A and B are shown apart, each in its own frame.
Chain A
Amino acid sequence: MLTQAILYFLIIIPGTCGEMCMSHTMKAVGEVTDFRPHAIAGAIGRAMRDPWFWLGLTMMAAGFFALLGMLSVAKVSFVFPATALSYAVGTLGGKLFLSERVTLQRWLGVLLVCLGVILVALGKG
């Protein structure tokens, strides 16, 4: 139980913080308007010159290793819905750290997603 709780924490917190770092990096890189493979590779190459990218990648890697650990002890149909807390954490992080304007409508959508994910978890056969 303690193992699962630790793994769950590692999936949610470092995983979500890592994704926020990636969002920060990609906003600095600028909007991708050319979708040819070499142009996308170029944009990712520019992202890799930003320290935030590597901080984000490290935290996402920690979250990924925790996910692998969690998948070895719990069902797929439980693990992915249970990580829905990251939607709320991520939306809050987007507002607080990325200066995104989270409207009431967007919060309502996040709330519906979280409630839906709880139902999915409760409907586990």
Chain B
Amino acid sequence: MTSSSGLHVKTVILIVIMVSVAPLGDIFLGKGMKQIGAMPGWAPSELFDFFFRAFTSGTIWLGISLLLAFFVAYLTVLSWADYSYVLPASSISTLVVALLARFVLHETVRPLRWAGVAMICLGVAVVGNTHPRTTEH
């Protein structure tokens, strides 16, 4: 039997891991796909060529590796926590993406976007204050 506070602590630890590696993976995927160029069309040969180029890119594989780490943490936390808890709680990764864009990629982040990030953090805090598990196992 896991105590309520213990459940909260291990849920938060796993979500922190998820929101640390997933945004990095997303950034690498985005960078890699921009290097490959726009998807040409829906013809099978075009799709095959497009995804072949994607899966022979080191940047894409770096992104995939980080997302695999995310996936393991994600499956683990889903073994006890509600899907409807984990999904919004992990959306704090939007803040991590904004911070990475601002301080690593030196992108300009407009005030409206920071307001959105603040609202997401508030939403995460509201969801985080609910119990992670509402079903019996």
Inter-chain CA distance A68–B74, complex, in Å, is: 20
Residue in chain A with minimal CB distance to B28 = A76
Whether B83 lies near A87 (C-beta < 8 A) is no
Q: How far is the CA of A93 from the CA of B127 in the complex (A)?
A: 16
Check B108 against A109 for contact (C-beta < 8 Å).
no
Whether the pair B118, A116 counts as a contact (CB closer than 8 A) is: yes
Instruction: Evaluate contact between B119 and A29: CB separation under 8 angstroms.
Output: no
Instruction: Decide: A73 and B119 in contact? CB cutoff 8 A.
Output: no
Asked whether A47 and B75 contact (CB < 8 A) given A80-B94, A98-B135, the answer is: yes
Complex: chain B residue closest to A101, CB-CB: B134
Closest partner residue, chain B, to A119 (CB atom): B116
Instruction: Flag if A116 contacts B94 (CB, 8 Å).
Output: yes
Query: Per-residue 0/1 for B94-122: is the Cβ within 8 Å of any A Cβ (1 yes, 0 no)?
Result: 10011001000001111111111111111
Contacts of A94 in B (CB 8 A): 82-84, 87
Q: Cα distance A98–B60 when bound, in Å? A: 33
Bound CA span A40–B68, Å: 14
Among the listed B75, B113, B126, B130, which residue makes an inter-chain contact with A119, where contact means beta carbons less than 8 Å apart? B113
B37 close to A (CB within 8 Å): yes
